[in-house]
C-alpha cells in the first residue's frame, strides 16, 4: 500500500509500505493492504511503519529506524485517511 506522511512544513515520506500503525484518539490501530476505508483523528504518540522505508536526508532526523524493521515518527496530533490502499497521515 502507498503511504504519505505530510506535515505543515513538508511531505516527510511518500512510498510503498507493508503496514502502518497510528495513535488514534481512542488507541493505536494498524492498517494493512485492503483495509476498510477509514478517517480518524490522531492523538499524541508514534506512527509506526513496516516495510522498506527510504528517507530523504533532509527529513531523516525526524524518524527513528529500529533494528526491528520498524520506522517511527513521533507526532502530537493529526488525521489519517485510508482509501483504496492509500494512507495519508496529516501530522503535527
Q: What are the pLDDT digits (tens) for 70-89?
A: 999 999 999 999 999 999 99
- What mean pLDDT, rounded, does the chain reach? 96
Provide the residue ranges of all domains of the chain, joining segments of one domain with +.
Answer: 2-91
Total-model pTM: 0.94
Long-range residue pairs from 43-46, CB within 8 A, at least 24 positions apart, any chain = 43/77, 44/75, 44/76, 44/77, 45/74, 45/75, 46/72, 46/73, 46/74, 46/75
Q: What's the CATH fold of domain 2-91? A: ATP Synthase; domain 1 (2.60.15)
Confidence tier at 66 by pLDDT (50, 70, 90): confident
Amino acid at each position: 500500500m502507498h503511504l504519505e506522511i505530510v506535515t505543515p512544513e513538508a511531505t516527510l515520506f511518500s512510498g510503498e509500505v507493508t503496514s502502518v500503525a497510528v495513535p488514534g484518539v481512542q488507541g493505536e490501530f494498524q492498517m494493512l493492504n485492503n483495509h476498510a476505508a477509514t478517517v480518524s483523528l490522531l492523538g499524541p504518540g508514534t506512527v509506526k511503519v513496516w516495510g522498506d522505508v527510504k528517507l530523504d536526508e533532509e527529513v531523516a532526523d525526524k524518524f527513528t529506524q529500529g533494528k526491528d524493521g520498524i520506522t517511527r515518527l513521533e507526532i502530537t496530533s493529526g488525521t489519517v485517511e485510508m482509501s483504496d490502499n492509500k494512507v495519508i497521515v496529516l501530522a503535527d
